Amino acid sequence: MTDITELADKVRERFADRLQSSGVDLGELTLEVAPEHLLEVCHALRDEAPFGFELLVDVCGVDYLDFGRSEWETAGASAHGFSRGVAEGEAGRLGAVQADLSVEQTERAERRFAAVYHLLSLSNNQRLRLRCFAPTEGLPVIPSVTGIWNSADWYEREAFDLYGIVFEGHADLRRILTDYGFIGHPFRKDFPLSGNVEVRYDAEKRRVVYEPVSIEPRVLVPKVVREETRRNAAPVTEQGEASGEGRDE
């Protein structure tokens, strides 16, 4: 078994001009390559003896919209690590929530969509993570690796279905989890929680019909129940009415 730092050194030496970044964190090696170098790097990682990553375990899509920004604050909320929801309009509010929740996107984020490949070398007993960002957000396109690992077929279809990432060269790129009439890509961070359409059975037409969703999107901010609020609350009697005790006169 090759040490992870030794593997990282070999990878950096072999792909010095092909890697956009590389790093070892928590005992795992992560590489990042541009789309134009993805197939070349994948071929070498599979076929060359020092690597031997013959097995593709998974391909997953990632949406980095508002990456690094959170609507949850922990520093001043509790010393025990409990988080508190930030009220709407305050600093730290997730930008995508306040944006238009339609399928059409007006703002374009840089390096938003990426495909992440998890590789396993059975011969060397090593794992490696490879990440590739789509060059544009409007139509994220990344080369398909189905010609290198057959197992990428359904994985890439899943990433296409849920994130809208187009894998160029895939022989049968179509939805795999959502319905045929589904609109949008549900794992995108700006996708409305209630969706865009709803389905029901129409007795007159004798079939399932699609209609615009009737649920209005809303954001719920959890409230913090503090001890002083509990102490001042009026006790409730058996009849379900407040007795008046415990309240400030």
* Reported confidence tier of residue 51, pLDDT bands at 50, 70, 90: very high
Q: SS3 sequence, the chain?
A: CCCHHHHHHHHHHHCCCCEEEEEEECCEEEEEECHHHHHHHHHHHHHCCCCCCCEEEEEEEEECCCCCCCCEECCCCCCCCCCEECCCCCCCCCHHHHCCCCCCCCCCCCCCEEEEEEEEECCCCEEEEEEEECCCCCCCEEECCCCCCCCHHHHHHHHHHHHCCEEECCCCCCCCCCCCCCCCCCCCCCCCCCCCEEEEEECCCCEEEEEECCCCCCCCCCCCCCHHHHHHCCCECCCCCECCCCCCC
* Reported confidence tier of residue 230, pLDDT bands at 50, 70, 90: low
Q: What is the pLDDT of residues 181-219, one digit of tens each?
A: 788 999 999 888 888 888 889 999 999 888 888 877 666
* Reported confidence tier of residue 150, pLDDT bands at 50, 70, 90: very high
Domain range summary for the chain, segments of one domain joined by +: 1-65+109-174
**Average confidence score pLDDT of the chain:** 81
Q: What is the mean pLDDT of residues 21-29?
A: 90
Q: What is the mean pLDDT of residues 128-156?
A: 96
Q: What is the pLDDT of residues 81-125, one digit of tens each?
A: 555 555 554 444 445 444 443 444 434 447 899 999 999 999 999
CATH number assigned to the domain covering 1-65+109-174: 3.30.460.80
What global pTM score does this model have? 0.72
